[in-house]
Structure 1
Amino acid sequence: MADIIIPNISQALYRHLCQNIVGTEKHVKTIRLMNMVRDNLSNNKKETVITSGSIGEGLDMRGSDFDIMFVSKFVEVIENVQPDFDIRRPYLSMDTDDVKPCYTLLRLDYSRDSFRLFQLCEEHYGKRYFSSALCKGNMLLVLKEGNQIHGPCISDRNGFFDHAFSLHGKMWISSAVNWITRSGSSWPSHNVIQSIIKHGVLFVPVGVHGSPKEDLEWRVSFSVAEKLLINTFTHTQLMCYALLKIILKDVISNDSECKDLLCSYFLKTIMFWISEELPSSVWKPDNLITCFMRCFSRLVYCVEHSVCSHYFIPENNMFENKIDGRARDVLLKKLNTLHSYGWRCILFSDQISNFTVSIRNIPIEPCTLYVNDVKKIVQSRILHVGIDIFETYSELDIHVFNPGLFHSIWCHKFSLKHLYAYYISKRCSKQAQRFPLYGAIINNKYQYKRYKSCLSTLLTNVYHDAVSGWLMVASFFYKTKQYRKALHIIRYSISKCSSDKLFLGLTLSHIHYQSLKLLSFFKTSVACLRKILFVDLIQLTENSTLTPEELLIEGCNDIYYIPSTAYAYFLSFLCHNHLNDVRHCQDSIQDLKIVIGERYLMADFKSTAEAYTLLGIALQLFGDKESARQAFLQSLKIYPDESENSAAIIVKMNT
């Protein structure tokens, strides 16, 4: 009887994870493609950018982390094989004497530009070593205020993402050479192994805790290799890995005595070891629970014996001096208690407790899976943070456009073409705001060239969503005093603001479900979906040349995130105001009030507060000072953070 029940439960659990937590196999591939394209376009002459963490693996779940590795192209690490020497490049060599396996010192062997590197080096027994502590301290100074050091990373104040500076060794290191021939199974395949070797290894700035040379030590990182391995997982393997992460975050770490004893890297390591042992045919939905329990049992065994061998360098016991003594006893008791429940231990997580088991294995409708995948993207704040990171760190120059245009033109996959176009469009929105603007009358060739450059960049910016890109073009015409052209584009943008549109944080309605079900039959990609249905916020950057003068208030932060609907009617009001069209000014103010009242295409309280601030400015310009004051006060009531809400300064100025 159990032989029949367990497969049914496994299938039900698999469906629940697909629909509500992890997403479908296609959804995971989409996230990975987004990572790949974003990373490719972020790379530059100085560094390679790699998305890692859970998002880097394609797992966008509750509590997922977004890690970014910046791999320096300026310095190369060697072991004992001299590369083709390049006098322009500094070289560091590994020194593993008296260092724990998986760690190394990095000795400075050669640098033509000695002073810059010497500042990050410390002398030890007459030799200069690249300091991991000094590197992290230097990176902390470069990044925004409020970040803090967390292991090898610099974490932001909100805990959304980590930055990790790293160095690259192009050659596979000798301490991990046994991994190449160790596995006798079909996993990983020969091609995957060769690809991993080709990528070499990374070095991240963190030493062994308590080591006398901790500030000089660097950890060998196999993060690229691990991403390649996880990308070979079947969707059932990925679900099993996700279940382990869920039980760690939702159940084990909720126990104050067990918190911080285990990390997801240990679970990933266990997954790798077991993937070597089991044939790939085992990893299928019917066996999800069996595979999960095997992995969980291995975790219990590892804790019981205080041993968790590193996957690539088994000599490194990652539990050494960490999972021992009382900490081991407390953790083992917790794990044994959970293990005694069998597969039902996962029900202690509120994410899984409500899944239902059907007697019959009824397949899920493809359109339902498609809608659920879109819903995850719409409600995923961390994916949107990833897009913001791309806009912040990528440089829009020849190094961005060359690979982007190349892939857009030559790539056979439409999904990739559209993703490259999407990210280039997003970046153009920021780039266009740097161009100096002139009036509608251009006096010389230089001014005309700048004018055309800004306009062409803005026209490239219209491919990432249905509305905001065109409103930025309207801003351009407003700033160059071409008000009628601006109004024409605003009317077009407003016509696109229909009730079936999607935006960050949206709760899908019946209209959205119907629209998405229709699009599912055409197998519309995520990038295409964004162009058709998404409405982004208007993002006006610091010192943007496209920000209307009416928004530039002394003492206020001039960075704005404004709902597109509110901005459209506000900009419409400004145009009519300059044209002295009183009736249409009144109409624009009335329309602005309506979209605010309905919170039409507005994601959160902050967006609504920004909209009220725009209404207040419009009313103030129109001469209705009391109504303007009420609008500013309403803005502050909704979002009272005076450091981020310009309405606070406006109210103080008017009192």
Structure 2
Amino acid sequence: MGSVSSAMFEGLEHMSESVFMVLCDIVGTSQLVALRRETMDIREMVMRRVISNDRAIEMLSGSEREGFRLIGSDTDKMHWLNDHRVIMDMSQSKYYNTANTILILSDSSESPPGFTLLQLLTPTTNRDVKSSCVRMNDRVYISSCIWRQLTCSLYLPNSTVHGPCGNAVKAGVEYDSAWCFVCDFWPLSASSWIDRCHSWPDPEVVEDIVRNGCHFVAIGHPLGPHENEEWRFSFSQAEYKCVYAMNHSQFLTYGLLKHFLKEVINQQSEETNKLLCSYHMKTTIFWAIQQNTLPHWCPQNLLAGFWVCFKLLLKWVYKGICPNFFVPQNNLFLTKVHGSAQNRLFLQLHELYKKGLACLLQSSSIRSYIIDVLYNPRAFVCTDESLIMSEVDYDTEIFLEINVTCNIVIRDLQSFVKCLCTVEQLLVDSTQLTQYQLFYLQTLTATNLQFTAFILHSMFTYTGVNKQMYIADKMSCHMLKLAAKFGCISDLFCIAMYYYKTFRYREALSFIEMTKVKLAQPYLMYRRRVDRERYTEAVGGQSLSTKIREAGTLDIILMNRVCYISELILEQQSASSDVMLIPVFVMLHFLEFLCYRQIDTTLSQAALDELQVLVHYDRGRYVDVHHRDISWEILGICQQITGNLQAALYSYQQSLTQYPWNKIQAATQSRIQDITGTAPHE
């Protein structure tokens, strides 16, 4: 294991246990990682059943899908057209109804391993696919180069091409979004992988991976004969399932490799800091586990596992060959790690290798912990994960995950019915679901009931038939109250919004007051803010449903296709995203102001004063920096309603200077123009 001192290895197991606990704290315990994965899995399961055949599917991939939440990591997403399918040979066409499915043939005959051409077999009505087509040898192929240019900004506007993806930064987070094509069949070029899976992953995992096929991303081989037309096989779905198949020590070793790359390898020199990436680290640990180089991966030999992977990586750099895990003939180092750059990188890695495990002392994340063990070799290290995170910590994480994943885009009543039926089907055999997945389905149902209540109201309002309106109103109220029974505290605002929308201001205020009392509780959990002791006293040991109903609140998510509050129609219409996110305490004072305007102007002004103090002086406690655009906007709307145009103008101008999370700039500029009587650019 390199020239590490014998003294250091005397406490190797002890040090491994210490690093294991540190990584549990940084990367997550096995329970926390499972929580993240399970909520993402159930969301995807529902989404794929709900989304119609003619729409696009979205899949979270990369480290976030694998269960990491590392600071500075990007978010990777894959999208594909649900009604376009790739087949590996013509015989597979019999499995599809060509009346509603566009078939594409993978032709790898002239491409390097891991790459292919995609031949369009049946006509398509998709504009981007048609625009990407090129003719070669009297056949129509989809050009990866043209497709990449056309689709790179579909997920986030103003994205730039980065490999096969569109790349953009939003709110300090980097996003990579790849529009690709899906194939339901496992490629012949990856058949050797199936034969290698003797001990890992398990046969059931292998079968599941093979059954779900692969994807094709829009980038060709730089040395291939058709670089601009070729597509690369993507095994992202197979990869995250392989990561799921790791035990927690293996997963933490993978996390350690990612940290080692970022904090040690990539800090050696500017010449080599872009040669290796986290995908190489993933490939390394995949091979190390499958080749059974370490018989037992456990907390006591975590560092031994890391060293096995580091030696394998060093060997690959020396040879200039990093074999793709699924298609080994595809050398991942081919275009980057070669020549003088390869030599410099090898020398740098070899210097780290000569230091032995002491090279980990250069990692800022774990350096101090290793030093502590070296100075206290007999200190007790407990590897009980339950001592790292408390019940409150897990509750905080699940509430945050639910807030992120529960936004499945339901566009109409038909989709809502499909979503409810899907939830019902999943609940038929709820023994197959975890507590986190059941909680997710509960929260998702509440969200969709709220959405449908407002849709139903708008549908029958337009008809003007009193009896239909009365029935629809009763149904909407019932759905909103049902949602509040198993939703969180902030779901009560949906009832208040509905009553305000239907001119029942006193009823709306009664729910606002009820919500206000709940939001004032000392054990309230909002984002990551909670009084841990009081929270535990109040709801500790109870079900997740009870906890979120009694103590949890989330920010308000408005679907921009639905009118909730007429005063926000302009903002919803101008927003380029599907949803608008409003801080819960901003919504509290906003609704109070609107309702009291119709009943008591003194109390209305008091609500406006509270809103003004909150927006002006809050420092991230109740108004997150990413949601200050809509907060200033709402303050301006209230001020404009009262006739205080100077204050409103200031608020709108402040809104324009904030991070444009809700993408409401067009509405803000329109409101400024309304006040000043001038065009925005004047």
Q: Would you say same fold, with TM above 0.5?
A: yes
Report the equivalent of 1:67: 76
Question: Which residue of structure 2 aligns with residue 549 of structure 1?
Answer: 567
Residues 209-244 of structure 1: CA deviation (Å, up to 9, x unaligned): 253411221112222222221111010000000011
Are 1:585 and 2:604 counterparts? yes
Question: Counterpart of 1:45?
Answer: 52
Q: Per-residue deviation at 1:249?
A: 2.3
The 3 A distance-change label for structure 1 pair 333 and 187 is: same
Is residue 489 of structure 2 the alignment partner of residue 467 of structure 1?
Answer: yes
SS state at 1:402 partner: helix
SS at match of 2:158: coil
Q: List aligned pairs for 1:187-206, cutoff 5 A.
A: 187-206=200-219
**Which of 526, 541, 564 in structure 2 is aligned with 1:503?**
526
Match of 1:220 in 2: 233
Match of 1:313 in 2: 327
Distance 1:386 1:550, change over 3 A: closer
Among candidates 33, 40, 50, match of residue 35 of structure 1: 40
Of 57, 69, 90, which aligns to 2:102?
Answer: 90
Residues 315-339 of structure 1: per-residue CA shift (max 9 Å, x gap): 1111113200122123223322333
- In the alignment, structure 1 residue 252 sits paired with structure 2 residue 259: no
Distance 1:30 1:77 in 2: 33
CA contact (8 A) 2:626 2:660 kept: no
Alpha-carbon RMSD: 3.8
Deviates more, 1:452-461 or 1:259-268: 452-461
Letter in 2 for 1:188: P
Once the two structures are superposed, the pairs formed by residues 282-301 of structure 1 within 5 Å of their partners are 282-301=296-315
Shift in CA distance, 445/271, structure 1 to aligned 2, threshold 3 Å: same
Residue 493 in 1 paired to residue 519 in 2? no
Structure 1 match to 2:4: none
Q: Which amino acid aligns with 2:41?
A: M
User: Structure 1's 279 and 455: CA in aligned 2 closer, same or farther, altered over 3 A?
Assistant: farther
Give the drift of 1:408. 3.7
CA distance change for structure 1 residues 454 and 138 in 2, over 3 Å: closer, same or farther?
farther
Which amino acid letter does the alignment assign opposite residue 293 of structure 1? W
1:62-118 deviation line (CA, Å, top 9, x unaligned): 233332223443233232461235342333322222311011112234458799965
Q: In the TM superposition, what are the counterparts of 1:153-552 in structure 2 within 5 Å?
A: 153-158=165-170, 159-184=173-198, 186-254=199-267, 255-278=269-292, 282-355=296-369, 356-357=372-373, 359-362=379-382, 366=386, 368-370=388-390, 373-374=393-394, 377=397, 386-387=404-405, 390-391=408-409, 396-412=415-431, 413-427=434-448, 434=455, 437=458, 443-448=465-470, 450-452=472-474, 454-455=476-477, 458-459=480-481, 461-462=483-484, 466-497=488-519, 498-504=521-527, 506=528, 508=529, 511-512=531-532, 514-516=534-536, 521-522=541-542, 524-525=543-544, 530-542=548-560, 544-549=562-567, 552=570
Residue of 89, 97, 113 corresponding to 1:101: 113
- 3-state SS, counterpart of residue 118 of structure 2: strand
- C-alpha change, 1:2 and 1:462, in structure 2 (3 Å) is same
One-letter code aligned to 1:34: T
Distance 2:39 2:367 in 1: 31
Matched residues in 1 for 2:126 and 2:620: separation?
58
3-state SS in 2 of match to 1:496:
helix
Given that 1:602 and 1:608 are in contact with CA atoms closer than 8 Å, whether structure 2 keeps it comes out as no
2:134 corresponds in structure 1 to 122
- Local SS of the residue matching 1:149: strand
- Give me the whole-angstrom Cα distance separating, in 2, the residues matched to 1:495 and 1:93: 61
Q: Distance in 2 between matches of 1:95 and 1:546?
A: 51
1:227 alignment partner AA:
Y
CA deviation vs aligned residue, 1:480-535 (integer Å, no higher than 9, x gap): 1010110111111111213432333x4x46x235525875645x55x765444432
**1:87–1:149 Cα change, 3 Å:** same
Change (3 A) 1:347 1:519: farther
Matched, 1:23 2:28: yes
Which range is displaced more, 591-600 or 144-153?
591-600
Aligned positions, number: 644
Q: Which amino acid aligns with 1:319?
A: F
* Partner secondary structure for residue 553 of structure 2: coil
TM superposition shift of 1:363: 5.0
> What's the TM-score once normalised by structure 2's chain length?
0.83
Matched position secondary structure for 1:321: coil
Structure 2 CA distance, aligned partners of 1:532 and 1:317? 55
Residue 679 of structure 2 corresponds to which residue in structure 1?
A: none
Alpha-carbon distance in structure 2 between the residues aligned to 1:617 and 1:117: 43
Q: Secondary structure at the match of 1:50?
A: strand
Q: Match of 1:124, as an amino acid?
A: M
Q: 1:634 to 1:374 in 2, by over 3 A?
A: farther
Query: Does 2:45 match 1:14?
Result: no
For the structure 1 residues 143 and 295, does the alpha-carbon distance in structure 2 shift closer, same or farther, using more than 3 Å as the test?
Answer: closer
CA contact (8 A) 2:169 2:175 kept: no
Q: Which moved more, 1:463-472 or 1:476-485?
A: 463-472
Residues 180-237 of structure 1, C-alpha deviation per residue, up to 9 Å, x if partnerless? 22344x2222222222222222222221125341122111222222222111101000
Q: Alpha carbons of 1:142 and 1:71: their partners in 2 closer, same or farther (altered >3 Å)?
A: closer
- Structure 1, unmatched stretches of 5+, are none
Q: Could you say if the C-alpha distance between residues 445 and 333 of structure 1 is closer, same or farther in structure 2, counting changes exceeding 3 Å? A: farther
What amino acid sits opposite 1:31 in the alignment? R
Consecutive unaligned residues in structure 2, runs of 5 or more: 1-6, 677-682
Task: Give the whole-Å Cα distance in 2 for the aligned partners of 1:599 and 1:452.
Answer: 41
Q: Displacement, 1:276?
A: 1.4
**3-state secondary structure, aligned to 1:313:** coil
Residues 196 and 611 (structure 1), Cα distance of their counterparts in 2 relative to 1, 3 Å cut:
closer
1:565 aligned to 573, 585, 589, which one? 585
Q: Distance in 1 between matches of 2:209 and 2:287?
A: 17
Whole-Å separation in 1 of the counterparts to 2:411 and 2:64: 18
Distance 1:564 1:333, change over 3 A: same
Distance in 1, matches of 2:592 and 2:109, equals 70
Q: Deviations over 1:1-41 (max 9, x none)?
A: 6555111111111111112x111101111111111111122
Q: Which residue of 1 aligns with 2:651?
A: 632
In 1, are the aligned partners of 2:524 and 2:535 still within 8 Å (CA)?
no
Distance apart, 1:365 and its partner CA: 7.4
Distance 1:183 1:561 in 2: 46
1:621–1:188: structure 2 CA closer, same or farther, 3 Å change rule? closer
Decide whether aligned partners of structure 1 residues 592 and 237 sit closer, same or farther in structure 2, where only a CA change above 3 A counts. same
Q: Distance in 2 between matches of 1:389 and 1:3?
A: 50
Amino acid at match of 1:416: Q
Q: CA deviation at 1:141?
A: 6.2
Determine if contact 1:241/1:267 at 8 Å carries over to the other structure.
yes
The answer (yes or no) to whether the contact 2:497–2:564 under 8 Å persists in 1 is yes
Query: Identity across aligned pairs (percent)?
Result: 24
Whether the 8 Å CA contact 1:478–1:575 is kept in 2: the answer is: yes
Q: How far apart in 2 are the matches of 1:320 and 1:550?
A: 54
